Amino acid sequence: MDVRLQPWSEGALPLLRLINTQEMRRHVGGPEPEELLLARHERYLALPEAGLGRMYAVLLGEEQVGSIAYHRRDWRGEAIYETGWNVLPPYQGRGIAAAAGAALVAVVREAAREAGAPRALHAFPSVRNAPSNALCRRLGFALRGACDFEYPRGSGTMMRSNDWRLELAAPHRAVPR
């Protein structure tokens, strides 16, 4: 299966509109109005320049079939990377999210090598989103438990989520002599 990550661009706005449906956003509060969707698109475009992470379109061959991202945030007093993803309904259940997730984990592991970079990647799917929770497990994340999570950030809207954590680098341990 030819699944690739393509950095977010102006050409990904139609994909964002396809994701902005009741079905696709049922676990995160429903579709957004156009002005909020356009603001989200602009934030995605600005992530790399700000040094905060990166949004990607997920490609199957040359077709945009989903999105996946990582970005820095503070979580419970720790700097972490956060990830989230979407795969359009006609492409769900085919291993595309797992392939995109594995590719993203490799990208984030590289980012974590930089001085001062977070050393853990978290995902916060709704406790009711069984496919996303299963994907976290499949990608090697460890379940830390349920939590209340603000989404979208800054909205004041809380959702009941699972906190999944993936260590990006094994802790360095001194070797006894």
For 82-137, write each residue's pLDDT tens digit.
999 999 999 999 999 999 999 999 999 999 999 999 999 999 999 999 999 999 99
pTM of this structure: 0.90
Each residue's pLDDT tens digit, 13-33: 999 999 999 888 877 878 899
Report the alpha-carbon distance of residue 31 to residue 35 in Å, rounded: 12
CA Rg value for the chain: 16
- Label residue 173 by pLDDT band (50, 70, 90): very low
> What are the DSSP calls for the chain, one per residue?
--EEEEE--GGGHHHHHHH-STTTTTTTTSPPPHHHHHHHHHHHHHHHHHTSEEEEEEEETTEEEEEEEEEEEEETTEEEEEEEEEE-GGGTTSSHHHHHHHHHHHHHHHHTTSTT--SEEEE--BTT-HHHHHHHHHTT-EEEEEEEEESSTTS--EEEEEEEEEESSPPP-PPP-
In order of their start, the domains of the chain are 3-167 (3.40.630.30)
pLDDT number for residue 175: 42
